[in-house]
Amino acid sequence: MTIALITGAAGGVGTAVARRLAADGRLVALNDLPDRDVAGLAAELNGVAAPADVSDPAAVNAMVAEVEHRTGGQIALLVTCAGRPAMAPFTAEEDLGDWWRTVDVDLGGVFACAQAVMPGMVDRGGGRMVFVASEWGVIGWPHASADSASKAGTIALAKSLGRELAPLGIAVNAIAPSAIDTPRLEVDAAAAGVTVAEIRARYAARTPLGRIASPEEIAAAVAFLVDERLPTLVGQILHVNGGTTRARA
């Protein structure tokens, strides 16, 4: 059975991806921070819980080794959904430590996970990686310098690794969604000083489709990108955004 490691699986997009890949017949290994419960979801999906802080490379290496030991196989699919929601204005007093913490999770965590699963993918003759980034990594966003910079780096990493790892049979791609209807909206709403309903309406109003995406729609895009019948889909950034980027001048 194909083993899929999904980071940030305790909620939002990560949970939706886990459910979709499990429904597609994958054996899912569910990662999130140790204090976030993924055991219940792992039991429900007949998968395995894989707690670790992805910003800690040593913890990621240990987690991957444990997953492969428990499942008796090597990880074939990596989907990185882990992120640290943060909104703050860019000021001279901005907390640089907090800024880097977001980058360490959102970008460093992707690098650490890719690095940890690559040897197993090489041994098994190939694999697929999907990095869930953000539209903000393409267009930027006010009060989201750390988030936007991290996602831009993630997109560049997907393009670079797509070129570098393709000869090894590893296809790397990314998704750049716009707003998604997840608990992340609570962070955006608080930063804007409005309700979640209002921030949802604001995001929908700037989207040509007239609404924001559901986590299940992002999971469907992931399922497309990990389809082994598409071996030549490499280094691509899938813009799942309802037309926002296309519609911008």
Could you report the per-residue pLDDT of 179-237, keeping only the tens digit for each?
888 888 888 888 888 998 998 889 888 888 899 889 999 999 999 999 988 889 999 99
**166: helix, strand or coil:** helix
- The more confident residue out of 190 and 7 is 7
**14-60 pLDDT, tens digit each:** 999 999 999 999 999 999 999 999 999 999 999 999 999 999 999 99
Q: Quick one: the chain helix, strand, coil %, rounded to 5?
A: 50, 15, 35
**91-140 pLDDT, tens digit each:** 777 788 888 999 999 999 999 999 999 999 999 999 999 999 999 889 88
Q: Which residues of 52-75 are buried (b: 16+ CB within 10 A; e: fewer)?
A: bbbbbbebbbebbebbbeebeebb
Give the rounded percent of residues in the chain with a pLDDT score beyond 70. Answer: 98
Q: Distance between CA atoms of 32 and 168, rounded to whole angstroms?
A: 28
DSSP-assigned beta bridge partners for residue 30: 6, 49
Consecutive H or E run containing 221: helix 215-225
Using pLDDT thresholds of 50, 70 and 90, give the confidence band for residue 248: very low
CB contact set of 195 (below 8 Å; sequence gap of 6+): 189
Give the total residue count for the chain. 249
Q: Distance between CA atoms of 206 and 198, rounded to whole angstroms?
A: 13
CATH architecture of the domain formed by 3-247: 3-Layer(aba) Sandwich (3.40)
pLDDT at residue number 184? 82
pLDDT at residue number 246? 60
pLDDT at residue number 247? 43
Q: Distance between CA atoms of 3 and 6, rounded to whole angstroms?
A: 10
- End-to-end, the C-alpha distance of the chain in Å comes to 46
- In contact, 127 and 75? CB cutoff 8 Å: yes
**25: helix, strand or coil:** coil
Q: At what angle do helices 109-124 and 57-71 cross, to 10 degrees?
A: 40
pLDDT at residue number 1? 85
